Structure 1
Amino acid sequence: MPREIPDPPNTEEVLRASEARLHEAQAVGRMGDWELDRDTGAMSWSPQLFRLFERSSAQGTPDLNEALGYYSLESVEHTRAAFWEAIDLGARQELEQSVLLPSGAQRYHATTIVPVRDLRGRVYKLYGTTQDITERKLAEQELRRKTFEIEDLYQNAPCGYYSLDADGMIIRVNDTLLRWLGYEREEIVGHMRAFELFSPASRALFGQVFRTFKRTGVLRNMDIELLRKDGSSMQVLLSSTAILDAQGRFVASRTVLSDNTDRKRLELERAAHATRLAELSRHMVDVQENERRKFAAELHDHTSPNLAALQLTLANLARALPAPVLSELEPLLDDAQALLLDTTTGIRDICTNLRPATLDYAGLIPAVQDYAQQFGLRTGITVHLDTTHFNMQLPSNVQSLLFRITQEALTNCAKHARARNVRIHLENGDSRLLMAVADDGIGFDPHQLGESGTTPGLGLITMKERAEFAGGTFALKSDPQTGTEIRVSFNLQAGEFRKHPRGARSFAHEATTSAGPA
């Protein structure tokens, strides 16, 4: 059978289908088309165009002047001029407009105007399209706003920014840094390397750091000194991160500089205050030691002769009494002699605690040895003094300090440690002076000091403050199983300490043996 040949499509149906697709496309794209007859001024609008302008089809198609009434004042003349230019010059026009709709909404349109010429070349008709581009315009405005904010933040941030290329050339700089330095952008960008902005003292350091930075990609909080155009300097804190390409090669830096002037000034002021406080503290300690020395001397000078005379008087009195009377009064005289001896010993101990005379005329080690012997007799704790590696003569204030710390450490040991032995070690090297006092007592947990239910450790605090006032360091180590050790150390600075001319062992070698009771 022969194949049936379908009827050709109806031209009108094809046209309607095509027109429907066009209208659907215009609705999706929020676009309408129009035509304008030059001679009559009549316009034709597509249905979508009515919707774009919120105009009812019952109102009919407006002419050009009425259509221009939808545009904002800043767009009317621009649009009118574009229409006349298309007619007079026959040139295609593209423009964007701001539209005020009857609902009060403001929208943005993009209009394309295409001139149509007759056979003689005269423009007799215009046609074109108008599309709603409000979303795009608002997105562009938001993008411009954010871009402006970011640029404003970069240019006017309270810190300086710059970027360097791999050669250290400045390729970008913000307004804040320009104001700090007093330069114009044209003087710096592309014309100066970063090291030229730094003071001579900082340039060598920056050169070393920049080479390392290009490898590591990170630089944090480097103190550096900028040099302004007028020659004055400015302290800044510099931090930077690197921009790398896909192969990990250095491309540029992102660098931020914070004004460090106030912090540096405060640091200098704080250092000056700390120095002054240390001087006052040392002076206070010196005054205290002098008062202790004075009081001990006065106490000894006023009481010793009288106590000795009283002891001699009691002895003479005993010899002068008749035997029967002496036999009756002898118990009272013995009590008086014992009380006198106890008073003499007590005053001697008080003077030693206040300021042992040995410390002034013989030095630290004999004073510690004497005190350790008395401490051992009084407490039953054996004290070992080791000065094998010590050969320095110390300033009097340091001797006083170390003696007081030893005194406080032994007192703490007697009160709390339940120790049987204490070892005092004193040594010096080329750069350090060290004293350590360690016991074999019950120890404690240093982290619990000051907590509820524990003693406040005032003795430890006193020792720490004494050491730090004199410029030394204080360290504490304690464990319930191994006992307690304190270490006081000083950095030996040129001229501050000197070796003893006779050698410390010439007067202290006996101190290396046990100083406890036999």
Structure 2
Amino acid sequence: MPRELVDYRDSEEALRASEARLHEAQAVGRMGDWELDRDTGSMSWSPQLFRLFERSSALGTPDLNEALGYYSLESVELTRAAFWAAIDTGNRRELEQTVLLPSGAERYHATTIVPVKDGSGRVCKLYGTTQDITERKLAEQELRRKTYEIEDLYQNAPCGYYSLDANGLIIRINDTQLRWQGYEREEVVGRMHAAELFSPASRALFGQVFRTFKRMGVLHNMDMELLRKDGSILNVLMSSTAIFDAQGNFVASRTVLSDNTDRKQLELERTAHATRLADLSRHMVDVQENERRKFASALHDHTSPNLAALQLTLTNLARALPPAALPGLQPLLDDAQALLLDTTSGIRDICTNLRPATLDYAGLIPAVQDYAQQFRLRTGIEVHLDTADFTMQLPSNVQSLLFRIAQEALTNCAKHARARNIRIHLSNRDTRLVMRIADDGVGFDPHHLGEAGTTSPGIGLITMRERAEFAGGRFSLRSHPQSGTEIKVTFDVGRSGVLRPARRASDFANGTTLPTGTQ
């Protein structure tokens, strides 16, 4: 075989192999190539192009007008204009088109148009490529949709949002906060420092907090006041996180502001309600003390003269009896005398528990001393009263409150502590009043108090705590098995003698229960 023929066949085979690789590459890339003759309007399509347009090869290659029939109306005009621009200018053109396939599917194509000139420089034909970019376009559309959703969420979220640079300059702010404060974006971004967003009261706090925030990188639920452009105030809760670079340097903040108006209003209402509740509770205590005083006075006034008269009558009766009858009646007289003395003592104790007269006539310290003496006689437990650091003059309602707490503490100790000694310490510094009551009894584990099967329900301690807290004081308890128990009551007494709350009044609205393990 002649060598020329062998070379021709080799070249032909290499060409076919190259075309096969090209067709394979086009199939993988979902791309076809085409060519258009300017003068005749005839076109040639690669096999992949037929597949892209779902056109049977039996129909042959369409001309330009027929090919344009595959495109949407908008894309037809765009494609026609691109073809003429390439012919007129001789420059390459690229465009994206929307394709409506015979199956009813919608696809997106990217077409590149390359002009070819003849020897005189005239564009005589066009050739190019068309690629299916549907997946990319759909991904771009989804990305745009999500980007819009995120931007819409940022701009119109039901909270304010802004970002600051390291100098506190506002670099981003959402529409919600701009509406809250009545500003235009151009007035704020890159022009205002964050401190200018807040009221004078919150501005100084912001300056202190921002310096710490740039080091720590987090801030949670801080009460702040936004200053609107018209000068009005909006209460907000501010939370922030920081963005740091790889070297740990502060880059920017991400700050969320939530409208705190409703919560503030609820707090004010709750505080007012709690204040009314505390006032009512104190009034009820005063009413109870007055009733106790009246009942004790009435009981004493009605029984004491009669008991005294009965004692005198028994004495006179014993003297009037004949000497011969006295031995037989003496045991009965002795029993009557003993019964009378016991009744007198019992009524005296009842009156003391109801309202000791000493409290009204001599004050807190003598009243506690008298009650401690009677307590020792009844129980055998020694009570030591320390008032060396107590110099405060107290109004009657405060004295009544402290006496009732001491009374309840001693009663509680007698029931549960099995103590030999109790110490009551009263002290004050400036307007701060402290009463400590400690025993050397068996103590208990506070964590087990109130559990099923325990013998100490803790009613006494609940009563003491409620008395203290309703009056605006603090109540604390320490106890440990075999180490005794100590209670501590603290009050802040104003210079006028009125108890001032040592805790917020709103705390009472949330309930005043003992911590787990309080007796």
Residue equivalent to 2:43: 43
Structure 1 unaligned regions, length at least 5: 1-5, 499-518
Of 328-337 and 470-479, deviating more is 328-337
Residue equivalent to 1:512: none
Residue equivalent to 1:166: 166
Q: How much does 1:185 deviate?
A: 0.9
CA distance in 1, matches of 2:236, 2:184: 20
CA distance in 1, matches of 2:9, 2:229: 84
Residue equivalent to 1:473: 474
Residue equivalent to 1:430: 430
CA displacement, residues 82-101 of structure 1 (integer Å, 9 cap, x when unaligned): 22332344332211111122
Residue equivalent to 2:154: 154
Correspondences of 1:96-175 after superposition (within 5 Å): 96-175=96-175
Whether the aligned pair in 2 keeps the contact of 1:441 and 1:482 (CA below 8 Å) is yes
User: Which TM-score applies when normalising by structure 1?
Assistant: 0.91
Residue equivalent to 2:57: 57
Q: How much does 1:475 deviate?
A: 0.9
Whether the aligned pair in 2 keeps the contact of 1:464 and 1:474 (CA below 8 Å) is yes
CA displacement, residues 153-207 of structure 1 (integer Å, 9 cap, x when unaligned): 1101111011122222212110000110111111111222211121111211212
Q: How much does 1:280 deviate?
A: 0.8
Whether the aligned pair in 2 keeps the contact of 1:392 and 1:497 (CA below 8 Å) is no
CA distance in 1, matches of 2:389, 2:200: 46
Correspondences of 1:47-446 after superposition (within 5 Å): 47-430=47-430, 432-446=432-446
CA distance in 1, matches of 2:443, 2:216: 47
CA distance in 1, matches of 2:497, 2:354: 26
Whether the aligned pair in 2 keeps the contact of 1:155 and 1:175 (CA below 8 Å) is yes
CA displacement, residues 360-399 of structure 1 (integer Å, 9 cap, x when unaligned): 1111111111111111111111222222222222222221
Q: How much does 1:7 deviate?
A: 6.7
Residue equivalent to 2:502: none
Residue equivalent to 1:502: none
Structure 2 unaligned regions, length at least 5: 1-5, 500-519
Residue type at the aligned position of 1:241: T
CA distance in 2, matches of 1:162, 1:442: 60
CA distance in 1, matches of 2:172, 2:481: 63
Could you list the runs of 4 or more consecutive aligned residues of structure 1 that deviate by over 4 angstroms after TM superposition? Answer: 6-9
Q: How much does 1:252 deviate?
A: 2.1
CA displacement, residues 440-496 of structure 1 (integer Å, 9 cap, x when unaligned): 222222122222222421111100000101111111122221122211112344443
Residue equivalent to 2:516: none
Residue equivalent to 2:10: 10
Residue equivalent to 1:24: 24
Residue type at the aligned position of 1:78: L
Residue equivalent to 2:503: none
SS of the residue corresponding to residue 388 of structure 1 reads strand
Q: Does 1:485 pair with 2:486?
A: yes
Q: How much does 1:427 deviate?
A: 1.7
CA distance in 1, matches of 2:250, 2:421: 64
Q: How much does 1:285 deviate?
A: 0.6
SS of the residue corresponding to residue 208 of structure 2 reads helix
Of 222-231 and 414-423, deviating more is 414-423
Of 30-39 and 423-432, deviating more is 423-432
CA distance in 1, matches of 2:390, 2:251: 59
CA distance in 2, matches of 1:392, 1:413: 27
SS of the residue corresponding to residue 389 of structure 2 reads coil
CA distance in 2, matches of 1:493, 1:81: 90
CA distance in 2, matches of 1:486, 1:256: 44
CA distance in 2, matches of 1:28, 1:420: 98
SS of the residue corresponding to residue 119 of structure 2 reads coil
Q: How much does 1:227 deviate?
A: 0.8
Of 380-389 and 468-477, deviating more is 380-389
Residue type at the aligned position of 1:491: D
CA distance in 1, matches of 2:339, 2:40: 141
Whether the aligned pair in 2 keeps the contact of 1:236 and 1:259 (CA below 8 Å) is yes
CA distance in 2, matches of 1:407, 1:494: 26
CA displacement, residues 93-113 of structure 1 (integer Å, 9 cap, x when unaligned): 211111122233221110011
Whether the aligned pair in 1 keeps the contact of 2:162 and 2:256 (CA below 8 Å) is yes
Q: How much does 1:345 deviate?
A: 0.7
SS of the residue corresponding to residue 388 of structure 2 reads coil
Residue type at the aligned position of 1:376: R
User: Which TM-score applies when normalising by structure 2?
Assistant: 0.91
Q: 1:343 to 1:434 in 2, by over 3 A?
A: same
SS of the residue corresponding to residue 323 of structure 1 reads coil
Q: How much does 1:242 deviate?
A: 2.2
CA distance in 1, matches of 2:284, 2:261: 34
CA distance in 2, matches of 1:481, 1:9: 111
Residue equivalent to 1:462: 463
CA distance in 1, matches of 2:431, 2:218: 36
Whether the aligned pair in 1 keeps the contact of 2:431 and 2:495 (CA below 8 Å) is no
CA distance in 2, matches of 1:318, 1:215: 94
